[in-house]
Amino acid sequence: MILLADHRGAGLERIHKVLVDAGRPTLFTQNLRETREALEKSDPELVVLDPLSEGGQVEVEQIERYCLDTEGTSLLLVTDPAHLDGSVEVGRRVEGAVWDLIHREAPVDEYLLRIDRLLHQVAYRDEVEELRYRASYDWTGLLRKEAFEERLEELFSAAGRHDFDITLAILDLDRFGRVNKTFDHTVGDLVISRVGDAIRNALRTEDLAFRLGGDEFGVILPFTGPLEAAYVCVRLRDAIWSVGELALSGALTGRSITLPVSASIGFQTFSKGYPATREELRDHAEQALRSAKRAGGNRAVFHPSLNTERGDETS
């Protein structure tokens, strides 16, 4: 969608007619109020703005305010030689947006050329961002295994330097091999996908979730001590348990099936220099995970509880 904001009422109608005749989706506004309404109701890929204010500062501020995703909106700012410096300065302040200037009296063909170029730039940028995303995240929407060691090393080092706690949790689905044996990999993939959704939804903004392979997941909880980590792990366990009701849809399997889905979770906290290395931190979390498995699954175990007589599992 292209939004033509002709606030001066002196020229963009000719561009509007050409775009409409060419079948290009286009909105046309004639003042700031109409433009605000159009921005609220639509998500334009490109705004062509012929501003009433000098250099377009007032209108551009409104575009930035009302575009929910400014990075997805490009801007073609119409100007004239008297206000060129001001227009350049305004354009440079548009954070994240692809932008360009065009002389008010430029021929229609130049307008069309610049419009197409800006749209292509946005499309290219979106493709690059998609490639970057795919390099970091797998099909579950969780960070890939390759990023796990890197982020763990970064946060472990930062925690040591700045004296804050981090907790590492390792999760593994209970008896997941039975799912693929009983059904097929399509069902198994759906379960993994739903578990990925559950993990993301159960975590806080600052937490990091990874798929380490198969049905094994890792979670790094920055600035998180044992007690708060225990609450997070209980939330993760409960979120994964709730997946079973939803994981197998009739549309996929041809029948309604209830499938228990649960996870064993082992976690350990790095605090005050202990454990001494990130490798030891991970080893402790994996030891706790194995203990949770031996205890029957669907539970979280804190590593230090393995060394106490009574134990301190998070059930």
Indicate whether 229 belongs to any domain. yes
Note the pLDDT of residue 86.
53
251 and 122 co-located in one domain: no
- Name the domain count of the chain: 2
Give the per-residue SS3 of 15-67. HHHHHHHCCCCEEEECCHHHHHHHHHHCCCCEEEEECCCHHHHHHHHHHHHHC
Query: Among 92, 115, 135, where does a domain finish?
Result: 135
Which CATH number is 296's domain given?
A: 3.30.70.270
For the chain, give the number of residues.
315
Q: Are residues 94 and 220 in the same domain?
A: no
For residue 22, tell me if it sits in a domain.
yes
Look at residue 314 and tell me if it is in a domain.
Answer: no
What is the phi/psi pair of residue 218, to 5°? -125, 145
Q: Are residues 150 and 235 in the same domain?
A: yes
Q: Is residue 127 part of a domain?
A: yes
User: 298 and 152 in one domain?
Assistant: yes
CATH number for the domain spanning 35: value is 3.40.50.2300
Domain's final residue, options 135, 168, 198: 135
Which of the listed residues 81, 114, 135 is the one where a domain comes to its end? Answer: 135
Are residue 124 and residue 168 in the same domain, yes or no?
no
The answer to the question of residue 294 being in a domain is yes
Q: Same domain for 128 and 83? A: yes
| Residue 80, domain member (yes or no) | yes
Burial of 119 by CB count in 10 Å (0-12 exposed, 13-18 middle, 19+ buried)?
middle
Specify whether 11 is located in the same domain as 33. yes
The pTM assigned to this predicted structure is 0.59
Handedness of CA 155, 160, 165, 168 (dihedral sign): positive
The strand pair at 2-6 and 26-29 is best described as: parallel
Would you state the pLDDT for residue 96? 54
Parent domain of 73 = 2-135
Same structural domain for residues 153 and 287?
yes
Token pair of 238 as six digits: 């409960």
- Round the CA-based radius of gyration of the chain to a whole number and report it: 27
Same domain, 173 and 68: no
Strands (E) in 44-190, as ranges, are: 46-50, 74-79, 99-103, 166-173
Task: Check whether residue 36 and residue 108 sit in a common domain.
Answer: yes
End-to-end alpha-carbon separation of the chain, Å? 53
Residues 115, 157, single domain; the answer is no
pLDDT at 108: 81
Per-residue confidence of the chain (315 residues) as pLDDT tens digits? 888 888 877 778 888 888 888 888 888 888 888 878 887 787 788 888 887 666 566 677 766 665 544 455 788 888 776 655 555 555 555 555 677 777 777 788 888 888 888 878 777 666 666 666 666 778 888 988 888 988 999 999 999 999 999 999 999 999 888 877 777 677 788 889 889 999 999 998 889 999 998 899 999 999 999 999 999 999 999 999 887 655 454 445 555 566 778 999 999 999 999 999 999 999 999 999 999 999 999 999 999 877 654 444 555
Q: Are residues 183 and 265 in the same domain?
A: yes
